[in-house]
Amino acid sequence: MHILVLGAAGMVGRKLVERLARDGRLGKRDITRMTLQDVVAPQAPANTSIPVKIVTSDFANAGTAAPLVAERPDVIFHLAAIVSGEAEAEFDKGYRINLDGTRYLIDAIRVVGGGYKPRLVFTSSIAVFGAPFPDKIGDEFFHTPLTSYGTQKAICELLIADYTRKGLLDGIGIRLPTICVRPGKPNKAASGFFSNIIREPLAGESAVLPVSEDVKHWHASPRSAVGFLIHAATMDTEAMGPRRNLSMPGLAATVGEQIAALERVAGKNVVARIRREPDPVIVGIVSGWPRDFVTDRALKLGFTTVEKTFDDIIRIHIEDELGGKFVT
């Protein structure tokens, strides 16, 4: 089978491609070909005999999608997007990439014709929800995003459901929790600290905690995120009916619980590298974010997290990113 990954150079995209190359198959079928697209050249996975084509192109261009889908990939992972902060700062760019790009894609799929109806796995976000929330956000809670990014994701969900209902593709949108522990360097994203306070201390570096320890948030490990994508690509979507978008399972943890888990897994010295520096701006932003979910529908459809506790999330990071070692 032929797999197309849009946004393959991003963090989740890279991990997905590594996993696909390692497995050599998706569900019951061998992978015979992969096309990896992003605005910066994605890296081909090492140690694979699967032919990989690298495409560097701008997802916001009207002509980008057509040649990619003309080759009739069986499964399309659509992870192409600019992130929340950038979509908020650059209004037009956000709409071009996060909304128009998706429309170009689904319209390009539609014009291929000849019964072509690929599985399209779209990564949506819990940013489709906006405060005030119930304590736990259920499967039927409405979408009132408070960012342009969340708005664009909510719109793409609606489009993919409608195109699927019309038989033009076989789409599914999955709302990923915040990915934790996010590998790489600290960035300026307001959500960065959820990962920074784990990753940096394990690397022997100090990390800033800008909010109080009672802040609760919704997490999943990168390994779980990749698992969700694989399951979405291989599951029986008929069981979903016309409701093609859903919130993924995750783990609700307060910052205090994150820190306690870090101490259990890595010890007091590591935890001592967290510096408390309250930042009212970040406190304000984070107060509008979802904290906890009930994801009965996703669980029933077979989506599961790898981790059972936040300790597991930390151990997964140590295994997958640090070769099993950290700075004590």
Which of these ranges, 6-14, 146-154, 171-179, 306-314, lies near a second copy under the rule CB under 8 A? 146-154
Which of these ranges, 136-144, 195-203, 214-222, 318-326, lies near a second copy under the rule CB under 8 A? 136-144
Tell me the three state secondary structure of residue 30: strand
Position among 125, 148, 191, 305 found at the interface with a second copy (CB under 8 A): 148
Q: How many CA atoms lie within 13 A of 51 on its CB side?
A: 5
Of the two residues 44 and 66, which places its CB atom closer to a second copy in the complex? 66
Of the two residues 20 and 109, which places its CB atom closer to a second copy in the complex? 109
Dig out the tokens for 179 from the structure. 């990915």
Q: Decide: is 248 part of the binding site for a second copy (CB under 8 A).
A: no
Residues 83-108, buried b or exposed e (16+ Cβ, 10 A)? bbbbbeeeeeebbbbbbbbbebbbbb
| Minimum CB distance to a second copy, residue 152 (Å) | 8
Q: Decide: is 242 part of the binding site for a second copy (CB under 8 A).
A: yes
Q: Residue 314 belongs to what H/E stretch? A: helix 310-321
Instruction: State yes or no: is 163 an active-site residue.
Output: no
Catalytic option among 95, 104, 116, 149? 149
| Minimum CB distance to a second copy, residue 189 (Å) | 20
> Distance between CA 71 and CA 261 in Å, rounded?
47
Which of these ranges, 19-27, 147-155, 219-227, 267-275, lies near a second copy under the rule CB under 8 A? 147-155
- Position 178: which residue type? T
User: Residue 181, preceding bond cis, omega within 30 degrees?
Assistant: yes
| Minimum CB distance to a second copy, residue 134 (Å) | 8
Position among 105, 159, 220, 270 found at the interface with a second copy (CB under 8 A): 159
Which of these ranges, 67-75, 114-122, 159-167, 260-268, lies near a second copy under the rule CB under 8 A? 159-167
Position among 140, 214, 236, 238 found at the interface with a second copy (CB under 8 A): 140
Dig out the tokens for 237 from the structure. 């979507």
- Position 211: which residue type? V
Of the two residues 27 and 134, which places its CB atom closer to a second copy in the complex? 134
Which of these ranges, 21-29, 35-43, 113-121, 142-150, lies near a second copy under the rule CB under 8 A? 142-150
Position among 54, 83, 146, 235 found at the interface with a second copy (CB under 8 A): 146
DSSP string, 187-251: -S-TTHHHHHHHHHHHTT--EEE-S-TT-EEEEE-HHHHHHHHHHHHHS-GGGGTT--EEEPP-E
Rg from Cα positions in the chain? 19
User: How distant is the alpha carbon of residue 55 from its chain centre?
Assistant: 21
Position among 1, 48, 53, 141 found at the interface with a second copy (CB under 8 A): 141
> Distance between CA 148 and CA 88 in Å, rounded?
6
Position among 62, 158, 272, 327 found at the interface with a second copy (CB under 8 A): 158
Which of the residues 160 through 179 are near a second copy (CB under 8 A)? 161-162, 165-166
Of the two residues 128 and 262, which places its CB atom closer to a second copy in the complex? 128
What's phi and psi for 6, nearest 5 deg?
A: -95, 130
Contact in structure between 36 and 5 (CB atoms under 8 Å): yes
**Where do contacts with a second copy occur on this chain (CB under 8 A)?**
91, 130, 139-146, 148, 151, 154-155, 158-159, 161-162, 165-166, 242-243
Positions marked active-site: 149
